[in-house]
Structure 1
Amino acid sequence: MSVATAATSTSARPRRRSRGGGQRSAPYVFLAPFIVLFVGFLIVPIGLAVWNSLHTVQRSGLGFGSSSETAFTGLSNYTDALTNPEFLDGLGRVLLFGAVQVPVMLALALVLALLFDSAAVKFTRFFQLSVFLPYAVPAVVAALLWGFLYQPQVSPIVDALGSVGIDPDFLAPGTVLWSIANVTIWSVTGVNMIIIFSALQTVPREIYEAARIDGAGEIRTALRIKMPMIAPAIILTALFSVIGTLQLFNEPMVMRSVTSNVSSEYTPNMMIFSTTTQGGNINLGSAMAILLGLVTFALSVAVSAASNRRGGKR
């Protein structure tokens, strides 16, 4: 009997080991698709862009029989990008755009979320859907729609303002940037409102009841209780907005068909597109893309650091 028991336990040991090995490898099996896609669609393209930015295609010969070869040129493409006035103007333009558009959009999203979370607004679901619907409209379609509303010849908005003595020019050189900002605010305020509103739903209602017992009104409750408790959601929307601002492309590209005050180098992404596709200079375009990515990363880190510093002071 003891011999049979020992044989049984001996034969069971390898099975236990195999099960343990399978359990240890299971997380890697589930992570494998993500790792493959992450490397293939993010790491490899970034590495290829860095490699292209450090090289230049040099062509030799005239007419027939000309040849080209790729040569290592170090940081020369980065120097060309940083000394290109059109690229720098576009970068400064989107930074100014973000400095105005992001706070205005976040303020609207926050106010709407606080209103929908309060008892002051009836038919909350209907109004939430109404505010969110513009986000479901593709950016190209939204830009075409607003481009129609900006044209003086056919715009009902221009006609209505003209009837009260106001003669606006939404597509003038000094106002077209803010007309584009209006399109983006109209498009993305709803989704940021949903993120902030969802964060408000996680706050325990007992805290609000305690605040009311202490005599706090709706405004004081929103400023002293709700906003501090949903600060991570506000920071998240701010980060997404900063990244989206620096990637501005669809709206100004569509506006080019409406006005001549938007050039092909109006934003850094448009400059990169123009340099690589129309100019055929992939190496310089890659350097511009890397620089834009570094600026985006630096601003994202700055926003995170500032929010963490404020959270630490509390």
Structure 2
Amino acid sequence: MAPLSSSSRNRPQKSALVALAVAGTAAWRCLSVVSDTSFVAGSSGRVIARDAASVARGAFTFGLKTDDKHQGFLTKQEDSGLRCTTVGTSYQGHWNTVLGDKALPASGRSYWEVKFVKKPTDAWEYIGVAEANADPTQPLIRNREGAGWFLGSNWEDSFVYTHMAMQKKWQDDKMAQGMAFINDQIANQQLDPKETERQLREQVESHYTGPGTHVGQYMEYPRFEKGRVVGIDYDGDDGSLAFWADGKFLGIVRDLEGKPLNLKGRKVMPALSVFGRNTGNSEQGTIMEVRTGLDAPARPELTEGGSWYHGGSR
């Protein structure tokens, strides 16, 4: 994260920052009484479809699901979409991970956009899809509760992340490799075969366990900055996920073996992680605007030669 121009020695104590953040949140709540266009805390976050026609033609619409564990998460309904932000309570800041209130449809194209109305820090933020049990207090990249597939970026770099689940096969392969090596050594070093195998198994079984992790691949994609519009494109027919930026197709997400990602059969929700912090002098929270009820744009097709061309809508 890029350092601020203000000196760290002028940073107020944590208790003062908390008091300031609470006061700021209270002020926003008071404003919500005066104007229905202000950010509000604890909103149901339901995004209103652009018009009845979008619902009639089957365009995917969803709201943002708030959670009691969210800290300083505020929303604001605009005609163009639902804006959301995180009010930070410390200089280090924190993320709120927010899910849609609907799972992605099992068939057809689903497309929505997230616009960066304001991005005052170089913090990493994440946009994509995740399982319904994702931890609302952790950014998607650190989430250990639910798997996610998403685009992450700051002002300088962009990565596409996929979830890597732990597999027992990895333990079995490691055990087989270890035993092959040990068997060559047993005769010469007079090792106890059973005890040696027990020690090896104890070491191997402590690896490749747990809920899995998220693995990122660097991409030459547009960075997250003020004004950027990120499109999230899910095809329920083949389970593929793709991203767009400012109306330009970036490409489909590939799994760890280089194959097109296939999420078919999984229950996943729209997901985003929005960052906010408080420097003591100012609140620096990203403002994202979520737009739903959109028609999916024509996704380019990949030719045999590996180049993209724009075909018809899928």
Provide the TM-score with structure 2 as the length reference: 0.22
Larger Rg belongs to: 1
Question: Between Structure 1 and Structure 2, which shows a larger proportion of helix residues?
Answer: 1
Provide the TM-score with structure 1 as the length reference: 0.22
